[in-house]
Chains A and B, each alone.
Chain A
Amino acid sequence: MTRRASKVFLAVAFLCACGDSSGPSEPQPGILTVQLTTNATTDRAALIQLSGPGPISSVQSDNAGVMVFSTETGTAVKTIVTGTLTSGALLQFNVEDVNKVKAYNATIVELANNTNALQTNLSGRSLRITK
């Protein structure tokens, strides 16, 4: 096969691969999990902002030692967690399409330690959303 012929073959193969006749995938409702990564040991409460392309509902704790306060459903939801905040699963919430997990975002707005003092330096903590 010549060099030119192989290019043509690859192009055809690519086009064929794109030609999925089933169309876009159907929305898959389900639960997403907020994972906390932290190197701190004294974090006890946090105000977390959740946002995404679709409604977020039924925010719950995914950590036995954490209590959750949440606002109503919507595309932007504020949540308060209190307890000993350690690395691992922290929250769960329902979405209409878990396939859009990459479009959802979790941000720490406020963080307090075991003396209730606000932490201005949030380095060492991060949130990640997984299916």
Chain B
Amino acid sequence: MQSRWLILGAALCSVLLPDAGIQAQEPVIVSGQLEIVWGDPPSGGDARIQYFLRDDAGNSRRVDIDDTTFRVMGGLPGIRNQRFTATLDPPTAAPATASWRVRTLSRDYIVAPPSFDLAQTSALSNTMVSRPYVTVLCRFADAPNTTPAPKEHYEQLMGAAYPGVNHYWTEVTEGLTDLAGSIVVGWYTMASPRASYLNADSSANLTRLQQDCMGAADADVHFPSYSGVNLQFNQRLDCCSWGGSRTVTIDGVTRLYPMTWEADWATNNAGTYAHEVGHSLGLPHSGGPYGHVYDSRFDVMSASSWYPVPGSVLRVGSHTNGYHKTLLGVIRTEQIVVATGAVTNARLERSAQPRANSNSRLLQIPISAGSGEYYTVEARTRSGYDTPLANEGLVIHLVAPRSTWNVVSSVIDVDGNRDPNDAAASWTVGEVFDDVRNGISISVDSITNLTYHVTVRRSPIATLGLSLKSTTHSVPGGSGVVVSDSASLSVDAAASWTAWARARRIRMINASGTGPTTIRWQSETAGLTAGTYVDTVIVTAPGMIGSPARIIDTLQVTAPAELRVGASSTFRVDSLLPNRNGVTDSVRIRFTGPGAATLAWTVSRKLNGTSITSATAGIGDHTVRWFHSSIGRAAGVYVDTITVNALGAAGSPLLIVDTLRVFDPPVLTAERPGRSYNVTPEGGAAPDDSIRVRLSDRWANAGGWAVTFPRAPRFVRLRSAGSPRVGNGGFAITRSPGSLAPGIYVDSIRVTATIPGGPNIIVTDTLEVQPAPAELQLSWNSRSDSVRLGSDRSRDSVQVLVFGPASGPKAWSSTTRNARITLFSQDAFTAPGAGTGTQWLRYSRNLTGRITGTYVDTITITVAGLTPQRLIDTLRVTGSGQSIAFTTQALRRATMGYNFADTVRATSVAGAVQLTLLSALPAGLVFNAATGVLSGIPTALGLFNLDFRAVSASGTALATFSLTIGKPALAQSAVVNHVFGRGLLNADQARFVDLLGNRNGRVDVGDLRAWLIDAGIVSNTRPATADSRRKEQP
């Protein structure tokens, strides 16, 4: 009952809507399966076709597919049993159309073939399958009394006896299938008049016809029990009777039914029934070579009812041709000889009622792989339904399955007389068919026992071939990559060819040439949004078979994946000391979006100091790991860039800016305010000291350092603990000689920077413990007096101090070099100027005979074993009215080895003064009497009293000037380093040291030794005791 309502509803819709079933104004996009129905007029004329696209919701729309679209989709093999998505424009009222116009059509995927496809079922089972048809006889509402023939007539027409349709297809399929179980029901009168079953364009509304006719019989027929449906009507439909397949929902089952729509004129045409049933099984038309559909009697799918059966009102046709039998699976692959070689021999069995033998059934001769065209050769002799044929022989068909829905296979008829059924279309012994253009010849060699012996020869022909028919590339959107592709072009060596593309995004690398080659082209993807782009590369070679050849280049641009960094930052900073490897750093990279999981990436870095430890190429999410090295790098800031490249990913390249700061190691210096070399008498004390520690640069505030003793110190003690310290600072030491025996002691203090690998320095401190001597000192070192000429006395005194632990009562004596001084003893001015222990030395300046001038004398006090002490005594004798006098008060101090110059001057009221040096000069000096200049480089040390005389016309004056030639103050390190060749002394200093030593013109180790002795650093004699390990750091 429910099915009844469904049918009623469907019928109601069909009243309101054209055959399309659905009415709309806007284009629609529909996905579904394509169904095909062929229309055949009663006597010649043009064949028709109707396409129906049945969507997933069950809506069926009649659609128009133009020839171009048909060919692009690959012809019947390309659309039969295929699922499509189409953009459809609705039918129009003016001009009146009944179909939806296909604007775009794309194949979705190949669906399973319908169950009625013999080519599939027979190949699978190879067993006989009965396919019963139900024939429903229907009248139009406006012709309820018109009955072309009674039900029994149609039962005979569909029957299993000759010439019934069941009998026919059983013979043609060679028993693979029959129509056993078929029934005829009716006559039924439909609800509507004939005119209501015509579309606006006067074509038959096959949908309504099917719905009303099957609906009329539904009460009597369980349609799913039948393989196919014949709908026989009592009047003409439109032009034609129709055959094909439709999906119908009836009796609770939705399925594809092989179906025919028979007009009244088919009543006696069993061949028409057979023809339409052939369409319902999926067969197309065949024909002759003259553009007609129904002119070949070699195929029921062309001329279908040309033979009136004697003694019957029925008319039939012959077998279907070999190509159609291959579609049905009647002729199997192993029964086909494919002639691809230069020479192919075949033995062909007859097409109708073949005998059981090993003969082949069909010869296939490929013509063009590009077009899919080929020849078929079959033996048509009189047998069964082929008995009425006018001629026996081989029949050659040209099969072009991709070019048309109509005459797919056409008979080769060489006489051109527009009769494809005469002897010119039947090839017998000795006849040769030559296809010069394609280099194919087919010769009938012999006929033996009804077996045709055939030879096919193929000669080389000029062809153009491509190794590719289509190519597809997929690129990530936004990548901007250039896609390169190529195809091998096979063509004669001398053939010129040209290649071009229809789209600007394709650029031919080699657009023309001669002979075989590889054709290369590139597709630009920059700026393309996600989608599919189909282009065509066309190669032409004039005169070549297969020209033009095409390559469909499909470019699929996917939505770009995106490259992102995980939680970590792309700006990284690290710090290292020189010659270190840093710790590993890492950044997580992640891909999101389509294709992220398979997106390839690479990682690179710019600087050698960065070592990538993770993989440098891979797919998908990844953690990039690296570490730095400062080995071989100077201090500074190094900015590296680690680049992650993921072709096609947004955000690529991803830059990880990696900054490495390489620090200078600290430079550690130590400075000491006091002396590092101290001398103390045995049992004496040495001063405390402190050592400042300086760290360079950034370490000044943060660098740690510690103080240790490399070995046990002898006298140095640290006053302050607290090591390690931080930053610039210092530490204090005390020197505690204690009971050290006389000798030279060197303690080492190690200051170490506490950073890993930090430097250290050794600070040495030297203490010389001398045997405690007695000491001789004077209360002052110089005395002076000024007297007028004629004075009678000038006296003075100095305290001689003799003290020290080992002093004891020591006797001293005093001397003077001339008679101008008279020395007295002890506390009295009595001779002889000597004493014991600390006492006063008194002396008197003798004034007798003196003239005006300055007199300098020296008194030397001597104690055995002690250094003599000298007292410089100066007496200035002045007088009123003096006519000549020295104006020089004293001479400058000179330094041994250094340039010296000074001038002695005297004045006289009488004018010119003549100077005379009365004493011997120290070595290295000269006196110029004319100028009074005393100059030169002194080469000896000491105190020298120089006597001068000045003479003028007014008188004479005498004066004594003391000249002290001393030593420069030199740093020990400067002298030692000079010997090491570091040249820290200037020329005067170096000259002094050399003069002090061996005077050979340069500073050497002998000079150093002399200087060390002179400076009191080392002794000229071997010390009695000393530290066993002594070291002096210059």
Q: Which residues of A contact B (CB under 8 A)?
A: 44-47, 58-62, 64-71, 78, 80, 82-84, 92, 110-118
Contacts and interface: CB of A to CB of B under 8 A. Distances in A.
B979 interface: yes
B1006 A64 contact: no
7 contacts: A67-B1032, A70-B1034, A71-B1034, A82-B1005, A112-B1009, A113-B1006, A116-B998
Contact of A116 (B1006, B1023, B1033): B1006
Nearest to A65: B1022
Interface string B962-1006: 000000000000001001110000000000000001101000111
A68 B1030 contact: yes
A70 B1007 contact: no
Contacts of B1006: 45, 110, 112-113, 115-118
Contacts of B1028: 64
Contacts of A113: 1006
A36 B561 CA distance: 80
B1003 to A, nearest CB: 10
A45 B1009 contact: yes
Contacts of B997: 112, 116
A110 B1031 CA distance: 19
Contacts of A62: 1029
B744 A110 contact: no
Given A64-B1028, A84-B1022, A47 B979 contact: yes
Contacts of A83: 1018, 1022
Given A64-B1026, A64-B1030, A69-B980, 4 more contacts: A44-B1009, A61-B1030, A116-B1010, A118-B1000
B1031 A61 contact: yes
Contact of A112 (B998, B1026, B1030, B1031): B998
Interface string B728-756: 00000000000000001000000000000
Contacts of A58: 710
Per DSSP, chain A at the interface is: strand
A65 B976 CA distance: 19
A71 B1006 CA distance: 18
A80 B1030 contact: no
Nearest to A62: B1029
Contact of A67 (B1007, B1018, B1020): B1018
Given A60-B1031, A78-B981, A118 B1022 contact: no
Interface in B937-957: none
Given A47-B979, A64-B1026, A80-B980, A118 B1005 contact: yes
Contact of B980 (A66, A71, A112, A118): A71
B1000 A67 contact: no
A66 B1022 CA distance: 9
Contact of B1034 (A69, A84, A92, A111): A69
Contact of A66 (B979, B1020, B1030): B1030
B1027 interface: yes
Nearest to B1010: A116
B1012 interface: yes
Contacts of A71: 980, 1034
Contact of A47 (B710, B1000, B1005, B1020): B1005
B1008 interface: yes
Contacts of A65: 1022-1023, 1026
A69 B1004 contact: no
A29 B924 CA distance: 55
Contacts of A66: 1030
Contact of A68 (B981, B1004, B1007, B1031): B1031
Interface of B: 710, 744, 976, 979-981, 997-998, 1000, 1004-1010, 1012, 1018, 1020, 1022-1023, 1026-1034
A69 B1022 contact: no
Contacts of A70: 1031, 1033-1034
A115 to B, nearest CB: 7
B1030 A82 contact: no
Contacts of A92: 1029
B1022 A112 contact: no
A71 B744 CA distance: 20
B691 to A, nearest CB: 19
A78 B1020 CA distance: 23
A62 B979 CA distance: 22
A28 B997 CA distance: 43
A107 B1006 CA distance: 17
B976 A64 contact: no
A64 to B, nearest CB: 5
A7 to B, nearest CB: 50
- Specify which of A60, A78, A112, A116 lies most central, judged by the most chain B CB atoms within 10 Å of its CB: A116
Contacts of B1007: 116
A116 B37 CA distance: 131
Nearest to B1017: A67
A117 B998 contact: yes
A106 B980 CA distance: 15
B1004 A118 contact: yes
B484 to A, nearest CB: 55
Nearest to B982: A71
The 10 closest A-B pairs by CB, nearest first: A112-B1006, A116-B1006, A45-B1009, A110-B1005, A116-B997, A116-B1010, A45-B1005, A47-B1005, A116-B998, A60-B1031
Contacts of A84: 1022
A47 B1034 CA distance: 14
A7 B465 CA distance: 76
A60 B981 CA distance: 20
A110 B1004 contact: yes
B848 to A, nearest CB: 47
Nearest to B1000: A118
A48 to B, nearest CB: 10
Nearest to A91: B1031
A80 B1022 contact: no
A72 to B, nearest CB: 9
A112 B976 contact: no
B768 to A, nearest CB: 11
A45 B1032 CA distance: 14
Contacts of A118: 998, 1000, 1004-1006
Given A78-B980, A116-B997, A118-B1004, A61 B1009 contact: no
A69 B1028 CA distance: 15
A115 B996 CA distance: 11
B998 A69 contact: no
A114 B1006 CA distance: 8
Given A80-B1008, A116-B998, A69 B976 contact: yes
B750 to A, nearest CB: 10
